[in-house]
Amino acid sequence: MGRALAAALLLMLLADTAAAQDPNGGGVQGVTTADSDPAGARSPWDPWERFNRKVFAFNEKVDHYALEPVATGWDYVVPHRVELCISNFFENLMLPTRFANDLLQLKPWKAYETLWRAVINTTVGIGGLFDPASSWDVYKSDEDFGQTLGYWGTPAGPYLVLPLLGPSSPRDTAGLIVDSIPYLYIPPYTLIPWYASFGGTAMNVVNRRALVLETIREERKSAFDWYSAVRSAYTQNRENRVHDQAAAPAKPGATPDEDLYDVDQ
Amino acid sequence: MTSINEGRRRVRALLGALTALVAVVSVAALASAAEPPRSVIQRTIDEVLAILRDKGRSSDQRRKDLEAIARDRFDFMTMSKLVMATNWKKLSPDQQTEFVDQFTRFLANDYGARIDRYHQEDVQITGEQPEARGDHTVKTKIVGGDNDGAIVDYRLRQQEGGGNWLIIDVVIEGISLVANYRDQFREVANQGGPVVVIQKLKEKNANPSAPVPELEPPKKSESPKKS
């Protein structure tokens, strides 16, 4: 379900760079929210909630009337395996972002893996359509500049919902912009004509949405307040990624929000 | 000589009997001690996977069986307190009982549905660690399927007096179920009081497969939640 929630967020990121951002999160924010939120630090800090809810409602409308129907049609026509290939292909194109941010976070081993992965998947994986690297235990990096900023101590700031792009924060919005700049200058990418990158982006967005159709439908069903469900998921998952908690076991009691588990509050 | 041999044989027999006795006693002691968290999770995984792999079961039956596992392994009382946080004490004892009852139904159903659609081929325990408050986390990883590599952590707490270890939170890819519902319930409670949460739970339980709820209208109230 976790991945489901993460996917829920992903879908909201209509941008091609979706993979470069997703959920954001709690530890550093926890400190800042402590005053206004005695209930616990994992609670997102959302002083712009009124504005955010409006943008969120707008994004939901766009999804409901445009993206979801198109993705449903796409999903009907395109076999699941092909959808996965398309998803792999676009992820493979993210190499510069991943590689640079691995290095910026002083993770040379990860950077090496990222590079090796791209080599394997571009050749053996036929231009990135397949992902043989993962089955050889060369796993993908999900680093982006928002996480790099977090790694060096920049707090995420308040929760922020961007029009069309979805859940974010000032830190992650900055990260998103920085991550997209290199693509304007790196040779192979600069050769792509504007209409091709436009079409590719649209295809990627629709394809990503198609892959999470059922997940989002189900997550909506089990939500009591969809806005805060997404906010919580984004914030938590993002923080989790900044600290690479999935990869390395946290130190005992190091969870940023121990109050979450206090029954006497 | 024979008598000496006889004597040795007796001593040996006695020692053997003692050893057997010690073994029996320690097995009994082990049996009375609570099953360790890791083993609770391993058993849960085995049961869940057995249900998912059994193609003979109807989808309805699968969901029911998964629900039964959830009812057996989750500490719903603690989870109720955690998700309601400061709002818990605003409920009367009767309302608290009602909340636990409704939340149990909701969560068991939700868990069953999630597990059922969360296509997984295998689940491995990757580690465990003690946590604050005497809790214990067991880390697992999904292997195979669309969610290959997804990290799922189970946080367990021991019932008072050396009782069973029960699950108090499921954290998937860093997203805590308890934290997620707590945020939602706080929003709901902010708009109409904690009783509305019970009401919404009831509605949801009455129709678990209800269609997508209406979009939340932008909130009118200015002040960010205090408390």
Give per-residue pLDDT as tens, A182-227.
888 888 888 889 899 899 999 999 999 999 998 899 889 889 999 9
Contacts of A6 in chain B (CB under 8 A): 173, 175
Contacts of B178 in chain A (CB under 8 A): 260-261
Contacts of A237 in chain B (CB under 8 A): 173-175
Q: How far is B207 from chain A (nearest CA, A)?
A: 10
Q: Which residue has the higher pLDDT, A168 or B150?
A: A168
> Token pair for residue A189?
């990418």
Contact yes or no for A120/A132 (Cβ under 8 A): yes
Nearest residue in B to A258, CA atom: B132
Window 17-56 of B, Cβ < 8 Å to A: none
Which of B67, B118, B129, B180 is most worth mutating to test chain A (most A CB atoms within 10 A of its CB)?
A: B180
pLDDT in tens, B162-212: 899 999 999 988 899 999 999 999 999 988 899 999 999 999 998 766 654
Contacts of B171 in chain A (CB under 8 A): 2
pLDDT attached to residue A31: 33
Q: How far is B32 from chain A (nearest CA, A)?
A: 27
B1 inside 8 A of chain A by CB? no
Task: Assess whether pLDDT exceeds 60 at residue A180.
Answer: yes
pLDDT in tens, A3-37: 444 444 444 443 333 333 333 333 333 333 333 33
pLDDT in tens, B30-80: 555 789 999 999 999 999 999 888 888 888 888 889 889 999 999 999 999
Q: Out of A139, A246, A258, whose CB is closest to B174? A: A246
Q: Look over chain A and give the mean of its residue pLDDT values, rounded to a whole number.
A: 81
Could you give the ipTM of this predicted complex? 0.77
pLDDT in tens, A109-155: 999 999 999 999 999 999 999 999 988 888 888 899 999 999 999 99
The model carries a pTM of 0.79
Q: Which residue has the higher pLDDT, A25 or A255?
A: A255
Long-range interactions of B217-224: CB distance < 8 A, separation 24+: B217/A57, B218/A50, B218/A53, B218/A54, B218/A57, B219/A49, B219/A50, B219/A53, B219/B191, B222/A50, B224/A36, B224/A46, B224/A47, B224/A49
Q: How far is A208 from chain B (nearest CA, A)?
A: 13
3-state secondary structure of A168: strand
